[in-house]
C-alpha cells in the first residue's frame, strides 16, 4: 500500500535509500533525516536498519520505515519497487551495490549474476517504479551511486582484484543516468544524478557481496574518502544540477571533455567505412 502524498509543501517528502545499513547509505540516511525527509531504509541486515531507524526517529523526529530486502531476489525487489512507487516518495537513492571481485574466469558465475542483479537490474527497476509519479507530480530526484571504476576499463587491476563485471555495472549506471537525465530534459523538475566516488572508507571491500559483513567492523581512518564527504558532494551537486558528480575531481573539465569525445565518436553514425578497415 502506498503512503498518501505529503500535504505540507515545507516538508521534503520521503526518501528511499537502498544499502542503508552502513557506509554511504547510512550517511545519506543521516543527512536526509536531518533535512526533514521521512525515510524508507532498505538493506539485508534488519538489526542494523532497526538501530539506525530508532536513532534517526529520536534525533530528528522523522518517520522511518525499515524494509529488509535482498535486491538480488526478485520477490524482494518487487516489494521495494512497490514502496518506491508511492505518491510520497520524492527522492530515491540507489546506493546498494556489491563487487564480486576476482578474475573473470574464476569468480563463480552465480556471484557475477548477483552483481548484475544488485548493481544494474535493481536500480533500473526502482528508477522505473519511482519516476512516473515524480514526473506526474513535477517534483523529485534520483541519485545512482556508481564508482570511479566506471571509467577504468583498460586500467590494469591490482593482483587478485579483477573487476570486469563490477566496473561494467558501474559504467552502466553512468550511461543510464546521463541518458535518462537528457531524456527528461534540462528543464525537468525531476533531477537525475550519478555520483562516482573513488575508494571510500566503508565496509564495501570486506566481502565480495555473497554475504553480509558480520558485526560492526571498524574502518581505519585513511582508507579512502570518508563516506560523509561523498554524500556532501552528492547533495551539493544535486542542488546545482550537476548530473555526474565525482567528489574528488578538482575541476569538472574532464567530464565535459568526455561528452565532447562522445559527440565526436557519434559523427560516425551512418558514415562511410573508415579507411583503416579497407
In the chain, domain spans: 14-250
Total Cβ atoms within 10 A of residue 218: 7
From 7-16, 25-34, 148-157, 260-269, the region with the lowest mean pLDDT = 7-16
Interior CA angle at 82 toward 81 and 87, to 5°?
A: 110
Span 200-256, pLDDT tens digits: 756 555 554 455 555 555 554 556 899 999 999 999 999 999 999 999 999 999 999
Interior CA angle at 227 toward 197 and 98, to 5°?
A: 60
CATH fold for the domain made of 14-250? Rossmann fold (3.40.50)
Which of 207, 219, 215, 229 has the alpha carbon at shortest distance from 28? Answer: 229
Q: Could you tell me the three cell numbers for 157?
A: 587491476
Distance CA 236, CA 250 (A): 15
* pTM, rounded to two decimals: 0.90
Q: Could you tell me the three cell numbers for 272?
A: 562511410
Distance CA 33, CA 41 (A): 11
CA distances from 76 to 175, 184, 265 (A): 26, 28, 40
Which of 153, 101, 147 has the alpha carbon at shortest distance from 123? Answer: 147
Residues annotated as catalytic are: 166
According to the model, what pLDDT value does residue 3 have? Answer: 45
Confidence class for position 2, pLDDT limits 50, 70, 90:
very low
Distance CA 86, CA 31 (A): 21
According to the model, what pLDDT value does residue 156 have? Answer: 81
Confidence class for position 153, pLDDT limits 50, 70, 90:
confident
Q: Is 209 left (phi over 0), alpha (psi -120 to 50) or beta?
A: left
Distance CA 181, CA 142 (A): 10
Scanning the structure block, which residue is given the C-alpha cell 532497526? 50
Q: Is 143 left (phi over 0), alpha (psi -120 to 50) or beta?
A: beta
**DSSP bridge partners of 233:** none
Mean pLDDT over 182-208 rounds to 82
Amino acid at each position: 500500500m502506498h503512503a498518501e502524498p505529503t500535504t505540507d509543501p515545507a516538508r521534503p517528502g520521503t526518501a528511499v535509500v537502498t544499502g542503508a545499513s552502513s557506509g554511504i547509505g547510512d550517511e545519506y540516511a543521516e543527512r536526509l533525516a536531518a533535512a526533514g525527509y521521512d525515510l524508507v531504509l532498505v538493506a539485508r541486515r534488519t538489526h542494523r536498519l532497526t538501530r539506525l531507524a530508532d536513532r534517526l526517529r529520536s534525533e530528528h523526529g522523522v518517520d522511518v520505515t525499515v524494509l529488509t530486502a535482498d535486491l538480488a531476489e526478485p520477490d524482494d525487489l518487487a516489494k521495494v519497487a512497490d514502496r518506491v512507487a508511492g505518491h510520497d516518495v520524492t527522492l530515491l537513492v540507489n546506493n546498494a551495490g556489491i563487487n564480486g571481485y576476482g578474475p573473470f574466469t574464476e569468480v563463480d558465475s552465480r556471484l557475477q549474476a548477483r552483481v548484475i542483479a544488485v548493481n544494474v537490474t535493481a536500480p533500473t527497476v526502482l528508477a522505473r517504479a519511482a519516476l512516473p509519479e515524480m514526473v506526474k507530480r513535477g517534483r523529485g530526484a534520483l541519485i545512482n551511486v556508481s564508482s570511479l571504476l566506471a571509467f577504468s576499463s583498460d586500467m590494469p587491476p591490482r593482483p587478485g582484484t579483477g573487476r570486469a563485471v563490477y566496473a561494467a555495472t558501474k559504467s552502466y549506471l553512468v550511461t543510464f543516468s546521463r541518458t535518462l537525465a537528457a531524456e527528461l530534459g534540462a528543464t525537468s523538475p525531476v533531477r537525475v544524478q550519478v555520483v562516482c566516488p573513488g575508494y571510500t572508507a566503508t565496509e564495501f571491500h570486506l566481502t565480495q557481496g555473497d554475504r553480509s559483513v558480520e558485526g560492526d567492523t571498524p574502518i581505519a581512518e585513511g582508507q579512502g574518502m570518508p563516506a560523509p564527504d561523498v554524500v556532501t558532494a552528492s547533495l551539493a551537486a544535486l542542488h546545482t544540477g550537476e548530473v555526474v558528480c565525482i567528489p574528488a575531481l578538482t575541476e569538472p573539465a574532464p567530464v565535459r571533455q568526455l561528452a565532447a569525445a562522445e559527440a565526436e565518436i557519434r559523427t560516425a553514425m551512418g558514415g562511410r567505412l573508415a579507411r583503416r578497415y579497407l
